Amino acid sequence: MQKNNKKLLILILNIDVKNMNLNYFVLSGNRNFSIQKKLVFAIGLFSIFHLRAQNASLEMTDGDGNPTANVTNSVGTTTIRLRNNTNNPTGNTFATYANPTPLNVTYTLSNQQYTQANFAGYNGAVLMGYPGEPVLTLMNSFGNTTVSTPFTSSGALVGNGIDITVNRAINLFTNVQPLSAATRATNQRWQMADMTITFSRPVNNPYLQVNALGGTSNGQNYTAEFDYLSSNVPVTFSKISGSALLNVTSTQILNSATTPDGAVANVSRGTVLVSGTGITTLTLRVYTRGGTANTGTNWHGTTNTAGDGYMLGFTVQESNLRVTKTVNNVSPVAGNNVVFTVTATNNGASNNTGVLVNDLLPAGLTFVSATPSVGTYNSSTGAWTIGGLSSGASATLTMTATVSAAGSYLNTATITGDLNDPDTADNTASVRVTTSDKDGDGIGNSSDLDDDNDGILDNVECPGNDIVTNGTFTGNANGWTLAPEWVSSGTDINISTDNVSNKDANQTLNNLTNTNNFIPITLTLGAQDGNNASGSTASLQILLNGTLYATISNGTTRSTTVNNVTIVLSNGATSSFVPFTTANQSGYTNHTFTLNVPNSPIPDTATLIFRSTNGLDDWSLDNISVLAFTCDTDGDGIFNHLDLDSDNDGCFDSLEGDENVKLQQINANGSIPGAVDAQGVPALVNNGGAADIGGDQGQGLGSSQNAAVNACLCYKPSVTSGTSLNTNQGITALNRAGAGGANWPMVRKGGWMALEAKTKGFVLNRLTTPQIVLIPAANLVEGMMIYNITLDCLQVNTDGTPSGWKCFNTQTCPDVN
C-alpha cells in the first residue's frame, strides 16, 4: 500500500550494499568492484520483485455500509464488513468481498466498571465513536500517527501493507472523569470494561492493528491496555511490528511508556498477531493505566469529556480452495490404464501456503505415473504437496493408473492449506471407475443383468434407490438449481413466465452407471394452457450430460379429440409417455411417465436438465426420480449388485441364493464360472441349469442379504431317485424356515426330517453302552440314533439289530450347500 516505504527500503538496501562494495573495492581492486556492482543490481531487482508481489488481504476501510460518517451519539457495539485489498501491499484497490459470504467483525463492549453521562448514546466509560468523528476512523486521524511503517497487513512483509491514509480502525475512547468520581489513584492500573470481538466465521491468525495508546489531561497521563480474557479456541499474542513502547506478551498488549501522554515519543502503536486456528470470538479486558509520576485522584481536571482515544482494527487472510477430479474413462476394461486429472484452485481472496492435496489410489487401481504442474506427488501416501498457491491460480496433477481387476473403484481427493477456508464444501472431489465388464463374462455392464455373476439379477439384489435429491419438491426446491422463472410451490416446481427461452431446472446426479441398459427418469409433468386458448405454445427439453433425449411440446391446437401435448425422442431414448390433451381443462393437466436414456454414453456423474421455452403456456414438474442400483447392505462401499458377499457374513451370495449352487461350482472369488446367456446371467442357475430349481432366469436372494444366516454349512443331501419329494419337517436354529417349496426345509429333498444349526446343538438321548444293550431287539429300527456316553460318539443303528450300532466320529463333508 505505502509505495514510498517500499522505495525507501530499496534505496537503503542499495546504499548499504554499495558501502560494503566500496570497502571491498578499496581492499581488493577494480575487478571485484565490478562484480559486486552486478550483485547489487541483482539484489535490487530481487527486492523490487519480492516487495511488489501481490497478496490480497481483507482489511477495514470505507464502503459496503461501514460506519465512516461522523456521529453524534456514541455506541457500545458495531459491525464492520472487511473489504478485499486486491493489490495489497503495493496499492489500495478495495473490492466488495463475499466468498462465499461477507466476513464481518463485530465489536461489543460489556462489563463496564464505570458509567458516565458526558456522552450521548451510550453510558459506559469505554465507548465507540467519539462525537463529531466516525466509529470507523482513518488510522491517521489522531494520535500523532504520521507514518505507516509501524503497521503490517496480513500476508505482507513487516512494515508493509497498511496505508494510514486509507485503512481504518474502530475509534475507541475511555472517559477518565468516572475514575475521578470514584477517587481512583492516578498512578494505578484500573479495570474499565470488556470488549468482545466476534468474527462471522472462523478465522486463522488475524492481525490486530493497535494505534494511539496514550493520553493526558489535568497534568495526568494515562494509556489504554488490554489483557486476554477468553476466546473460543486457544490464542496467544505476539508482536509483528510497531513502536518500541508497544509491549506485547502472550496474554497482554501494553504501553510501556513511563509517561504515556500520547506525545510522539510516548505513544504505542503497531501490529499484534493473534495466533489461533478457527477463531470466532475473542474477549479483551480493557484497562486504564496511569503514569508512574502521577499523583492524586483527579484524572480529568474540570473537563468532564477528557480521556484517552485509541484505535483497534483487524486484517485477516483467507483462501477458498477448491479441488476437482475427472477421469478419461469411467468404464474401462480391466487391465487397461485410466488417467485421472486433479485440479487444485485458489479462489481467493489471499495467496495460500502449505497447500496439500491427498489422493491415494484405492485397492484395485495400480499406480503407473504422476505429473504435477507444481510440487511433488508421493504415490505411497497419496500426498500431492503443492506449497504456495496464489489467489486465482490453479495447479494440476495428471495421474495414470492401471485397473488391476474388474470392479468398481471410488477415487477421492481432498485439499487443505494454511489459511482458513471459508467454504469447505468444494474441498473434496470423487470420481468412480467401474469396469465396463465387471465380471468379465463378455457382456458389458450396461447390458449385463448380473454384473457380478453371482446368479442373482442386479434388480433383485437392489430394486433401485432414487438418486434424485428432493424430486418431490416437498416444501422447497433444495437440491435443484433453478432459473428465476422456475418457482417452487412447496409441492412442485413450475414455470409460468410468458415469452422466455431456455430456462433451466437442473440437478447433478451420481451413480448413473449403476443401471442396466437404460437410465430410467420418471416424472410427473403438468401442462397448462395460457388463457386456455389455441395458439399458445411451450416446449420442454430433457437433457442428460448435455445430450438431448426428449422434447415435449404443447401445440397450438385445442380440441378434446386432438392430443396437443406430444413428445419427440432422440439419441436412442425410449419412453412410456402417452400424448394427451389439455383442451377444456383448468389448471395443470398431469401425466406421469418414464424416459429411458441409454446407459452406455453417460458417465457416473452427469447433470439432468429440464429446459423450458414458453410462449403463453406453462409447465410443472413433480415426483422426479431416477432409480439406480445403489443398495449396500453391509456398508462396505460396494453396491450389492457388484458385491459377491452382500451381507459380509463370509458366505458368498452365489451360495446363499435360493437355488442349489455348490461350493465346487463357483470360482474362488464367489462368482459363477462358465457360460452365460445373452444378458450375462450364468447358465448354471437359468432354466435347465445344473443348479436350477425354479425354471427361470437366475436365482432369488435366498439369505444373501441376511447376515444372521450363513448358508455355507456342511451337509450331504439325500440321494433321491425318481420324483423328488419335499422334506416337510425340520428343526432349525438358523431362523430360515419358510412356507413355499423353494424354502427350507422343503428345498432339502427326499427326507423325513431336516436338522440344521450353526451355534446350537440338537440333543439326542444320552445312554451308556450297558443301557444300549438292554434296548429290546424288537424296538430297534434302522436309522435309530443315540449318543453313547461310554464311547463318546454318536451311534446310528444301520440294520435294526443289536449288532447294527455304528459310531460316527469322523467329520466329512462331500457336498457343501
Question: Beta strand 785-788 with 766-767: parallel, antiparallel or unpaired?
Answer: parallel
Contact predicate 75/368, CB 8 Å: no
Q: What is the pLDDT of residue 40?
A: 37
Closest CA to 165 of 148, 177, 183: 148
Contact predicate 310/281, CB 8 Å: no
Alpha helices, H only, 62-217: 177-181
Assign 442 a pLDDT band (cuts: 50, 70, 90): confident
Residue 709 is which amino acid? V
Burial pattern 763-789, b for ≥16 Cβ within 10 A else e, equals eeeebeeeebeeeeeeebeeebebebe
Q: What is the pLDDT of residue 434?
A: 77
In the sheet that holds 408-416, the strands lie side by side as: 376-378, 383-389, 352-358, 408-416, 428-434
Q: How far apart are the C-alpha atoms of 215 and 173, rounded to whole Å?
A: 10
Q: Higher-confidence residue: 298 or 716?
A: 298
Say if residue 15's pLDDT is above 50: no
User: How confident is the model over 174-201, as a mean pLDDT?
Assistant: 98
Q: How far apart are the C-alpha atoms of 602 and 626, rounded to whole Å?
A: 14
Can you give the three-state secondary structure of 610-643, one letter per residue? EEEEECCCEEEEEEEEEEECCCCCCCCCCCHHHC
Assign 810 a pLDDT band (cuts: 50, 70, 90): low
Q: How far apart are the C-alpha atoms of 796 and 60, rounded to whole Å?
A: 94
Say if residue 734's pLDDT is above 80: no
Closest CA to 221 of 172, 255, 171: 255
Alpha helices, H only, 574-703: 653-656
Closest CA to 544 of 488, 628, 605: 605
Q: How far apart are the C-alpha atoms of 17 and 39, rounded to whole Å?
A: 9
Q: What is the pLDDT of residue 2?
A: 31
Q: What is the pLDDT of residue 47?
A: 36
Please, how many CA atoms are within 13 Å of residue 378, restricted to the half-sphere of its CB? 9
Which backbone phi and psi does 746 adopt, to 5 degrees?
Answer: -60, -30
Residue 91 is which amino acid? G
Q: What is the pLDDT of residue 556?
A: 76
Q: What is the pLDDT of residue 35?
A: 30
Contact predicate 143/310, CB 8 Å: yes
Q: What is the pLDDT of residue 156?
A: 94
User: How confident is the model over 300-309, as a mean pLDDT?
Assistant: 96
User: How confident is the model over 182-199, as a mean pLDDT?
Assistant: 98
Say if residue 718's pLDDT is above 80: no
Q: What is the pLDDT of residue 736?
A: 66
For 645-675, how does the pLDDT look when each residue is reduced to its tens digit (9 = 90+)?
999 999 999 999 999 999 899 999 999 999 9
Rounded mean pLDDT of the chain?
Answer: 87
Q: Which three cell numbers stand for residue 365?
A: 487401481
Contact predicate 816/714, CB 8 Å: yes
Q: How far apart are the C-alpha atoms of 271 and 248, rounded to whole Å?
A: 10
Least confident of 461-465, 481-485, 564-568: 461-465
Most distant CA pair in the chain: distance in Å?
132
Q: Which three cell numbers stand for residue 762?
A: 440338537
Assign 577 a pLDDT band (cuts: 50, 70, 90): very high
For 126-155, how does the pLDDT look when each residue is reduced to its tens digit (9 = 90+)?
999 999 999 999 999 999 999 999 999 999
Q: What is the pLDDT of residue 744?
A: 73
Q: How far apart are the C-alpha atoms of 750 and 748, rounded to whole Å?
A: 7
For 475-501, how does the pLDDT look when each residue is reduced to its tens digit (9 = 90+)?
999 999 999 999 999 999 999 999 999
Q: What is the pLDDT of residue 447?
A: 76
User: How confident is the model over 554-568, as a mean pLDDT?
Assistant: 86
Say if residue 742's pLDDT is above 70: no
Which backbone phi and psi does 525 adopt, to 5 degrees?
Answer: -100, 135
Q: What is the pLDDT of residue 694?
A: 85
Q: How far apart are the C-alpha atoms of 269 and 134, rounded to whole Å?
A: 20
Contact predicate 662/691, CB 8 Å: yes
Q: What is the pLDDT of residue 51?
A: 36
Q: Which of 203-212, 687-696, 703-712 ranks highest by mean pLDDT?
A: 203-212
Q: What is the pLDDT of residue 460?
A: 94
Least confident of 384-388, 491-495, 509-513: 509-513
Contact predicate 649/707, CB 8 Å: yes
Say if residue 380's pLDDT is above 90: yes
For 250-264, how does the pLDDT look when each residue is reduced to its tens digit (9 = 90+)?
999 999 999 999 899
Assign 53 a pLDDT band (cuts: 50, 70, 90): low
User: How confident is the model over 294-317, as a mean pLDDT?
Assistant: 97
Closest CA to 211 of 275, 259, 147: 147
For 609-652, how does the pLDDT look when each residue is reduced to its tens digit (9 = 90+)?
999 999 888 999 999 999 998 899 999 988 899 899 999 999 99
Q: Higher-confidence residue: 780 or 749?
A: 780
Q: What is the pLDDT of residue 553?
A: 93
Q: Which three cell numbers stand for residue 204?
A: 486463522
Q: What is the pLDDT of residue 308?
A: 96
Confidence (pTM):
0.60
**DSSP one-letter string for 295-308:** -SS-SSTT-TT-EE
Q: What is the pLDDT of residue 41?
A: 36
Q: What is the pLDDT of residue 719?
A: 53
User: How confident is the model over 43-56, as a mean pLDDT?
Assistant: 50
Say if residue 20's pLDDT is above 60: no
In the chain, pLDDT over 70 holds for what percent of residues?
87
Residue 364 DSSP label: T
For 117-133, how does the pLDDT look when each residue is reduced to its tens digit (9 = 90+)?
999 999 999 999 999 99
Q: Which of 5-19, 335-349, 598-612, 793-807 ranks highest by mean pLDDT?
A: 335-349
Q: Higher-confidence residue: 160 or 738?
A: 160
Residue showing cell 562484480? 35
Instruction: Give ∠ CA 506-571-451 in degrees, rounded to 5.
Output: 85
